[in-house]
Amino acid sequence: MYTLGISCYYHDSSAAVLKDGKVIAAVEEERFSRKKFDDDFPKQAINWCLKESGISPKNLDSVAFYDKPLLKFERLLDNYIAVAPRGLYSFLDVIPKWIHKRLWVKDEISKHLKDFNGEIIFPEHHMSHAAHAFFTSPFDEAAILTVDGVGEWTTASFGTAHDTTIKLTNDIRWPHSVGLFYSAFTYFLGFKVNEGEYKLMGLSAYGKPKYYDLIMENLVDVKNDGSIHLNMKYFSFTYDKVMTNQKFSDLFGILPRKEDSKAEQIHYDIAASAQLVLEDILLKMVNHVHKKTGMTNLCFGGGVALNGVANYRILKDGPFENIHIPPSPGDGGSAVGCAQYLYYCHDKNKRMIEDNVERIKNNIFVGPSHSNDEIKSFLDINKIDYKLLETNSLLQTTAKLIVEGNVVGWYQGKMEWGPRALGNRSIIADPRNAKMKDILNEKIKHRESFRPFAPCILEECASEYFDVDVSSPYMLLVAPVKKPEKIPAVTHVDGTARLQTVSKDINLLFYNLITEFYKITGVPVLINTSMNVRGEPIVDTPEQAYNMIVKTDMDYIVMGDYIIKK
């Protein structure tokens, strides 16, 4: 049985195909369209998923879209009426897009999937998040918490899941949103909403939460159960294109930071304060969810679950014994989530929980891949010099190059599902060199200097280097570093790192590469950052991968079994 899931029209459009409930293809549209965070109807992603699955639209049994457009439209209209006459410009910008396109998503799907005759369903937005969180987990039953900006009306929800039934029993509603609270600070501190939230998280490490009380006394009323009420006198996202208003600026005594202006101490302190408020709200939520559900397992989804610092606090200070966060907890991930909802909850097909290895592999490595033959043919046609090495020699050579201070592209196998490169579309470098962060920024990434790079580590060594006793296969946990002097390039200013644990059974080639580096240096860690030029999505084709050494100062790229020098 084939099920297609689609997420689009807001952020990170994507598509996924499930065969008998198992993800066999999933990818974000941006990887093909080359428009970062592309929100358009994911035609190319759908076409690729069908091709990868070896089927045409008529073989699809059913299709799910990740939310209910009509309900979302109702919320938009309701909101514009409530805030009128403010919001006119926003109304004139947004509503035509809905009337001409977004409301007719069912027609768009039917138009694109010629000869498809099955059912199309529209689960609620937070149900899609919940399904992705639960059905990628190893749990037969769990409490569910979803937190994001907003779905149709809901901004956070909780409930329980058991076997193939998910019940979301409680929610918080628009405009009172934990995600939008954090996005408001993202905007105020000079970053793009829906994109710069992780920059705010990175910035927060440089500050002290001096404005915590000011925020709690003026901006947000937080109840003991974690429910919140935003003081809308300070926020403008209900009627404007910007998130905060003059009153918000007056409260902090500064104007919103311009994107290209220098961040100063006050910005760091505001970031630290907003981060701490977010963490405290989430902790209250998980405590309440635990009390109400009595469960030992928690599945946490929605875009706020991308906040690795908060995730670590939930893990350390929260009441749940086990926590699962899916590889792509944001809206992009909901292409898989809505398809899982359709297959399990709607159609009531039997759920088989795969063992950890199979489950994690199938949660991550489900994107496009390009064979050695394709890579060779690209290199030959373009008369590019390369060396072909057998696997052991390739691993040893690459590890040696990294030890010698080179920055190396590592392009292998299937592209990862979700926002992170997890060892197949990665740029790797030596974490022992304190200057490597600056070198990486100078040569390739050109990122804000305050942003840290992430480490990947052999799974069995994780608790030796980091204060963790669980695996972090999706790089969604920020934990204290135990040996910062050994890996200065990946240790953030507050002594933490967003780590990825790499297991032999899940990605043997990448595991073996780290092992070769370990043999030479005694350090089982590499820097792992995504393979993309600034402002562009992660690379897909061999040509895009090769362009990394053309467009940037990356020293080498390893593509399949081929190694190419700049």
- Positions that interact with Fe ion (CB under 5 A): 148, 331
Interatomic CA distance for residues 525 and 295, integer angstroms:
35
Interatomic CA distance for residues 445 and 79, integer angstroms:
40
Cβ of residue 37: shortest distance to Fe ion, in angstroms? 14
Cβ of residue 171: shortest distance to Fe ion, in angstroms? 13
3-state per-residue secondary structure call for 88-123: HHHHHHHHHHHHHCHHHHHHHHHHHCCCCCCEEECC
Cβ of residue 149: shortest distance to Fe ion, in angstroms? 6
Which residue, chain included where needed, has tokens 């790797």?
428
Comparison of 109 and 130: residue with beta carbon closer to Fe ion: 130
State the burial class of residue 251 (Cβ atoms within 10 Å of its Cβ: 0-12, 13-18, 19+): middle
Cβ of residue 129: shortest distance to Fe ion, in angstroms? 6
Cβ of residue 9: shortest distance to Fe ion, in angstroms? 12
Cβ of residue 459: shortest distance to Fe ion, in angstroms? 30
Comparison of 331 and 540: residue with beta carbon closer to Fe ion: 331
Interatomic CA distance for residues 360 and 275, integer angstroms:
29
Nearest of 361, 457, 375, 356 to residue 414 by alpha carbon: 361
Residue pair 133/325 in contact (Cβ under 8 Å)? The answer is yes
Interatomic CA distance for residues 10 and 98, integer angstroms:
11
Residue pair 130/159 in contact (Cβ under 8 Å)? The answer is yes
Residue pair 218/251 in contact (Cβ under 8 Å)? The answer is yes
Cβ of residue 518: shortest distance to Fe ion, in angstroms? 39
For residue 107, the tally of other CB atoms under 10 A from its CB is 10
Cβ of residue 148: shortest distance to Fe ion, in angstroms? 4
Instruction: Name 289's Cβ contacts closer than 8 Å, sequence gap at least 6.
Output: 143, 145, 158, 226, 298
Residue 252, H or E segment? helix 246-252
The token pair at 565 is 């020098």
What are phi and psi for residue 514, nearest 5 degrees? -60, -40
The strand pairing partners of 498, in sequence order, are 478
Cβ of residue 93: shortest distance to Fe ion, in angstroms? 21
Interatomic CA distance for residues 392 and 403, integer angstroms:
17
Comparison of 148 and 197: residue with beta carbon closer to Fe ion: 148
State the burial class of residue 397 (Cβ atoms within 10 Å of its Cβ: 0-12, 13-18, 19+): middle
Cβ of residue 57: shortest distance to Fe ion, in angstroms? 27
Nearest of 156, 153, 165, 214 to residue 185 by alpha carbon: 214
Cβ of residue 537: shortest distance to Fe ion, in angstroms? 20
Nearest of 513, 561, 509 to residue 389 by alpha carbon: 561
| Closest-approach residue to Fe ion (CB) | 148
Comparison of 331 and 516: residue with beta carbon closer to Fe ion: 331
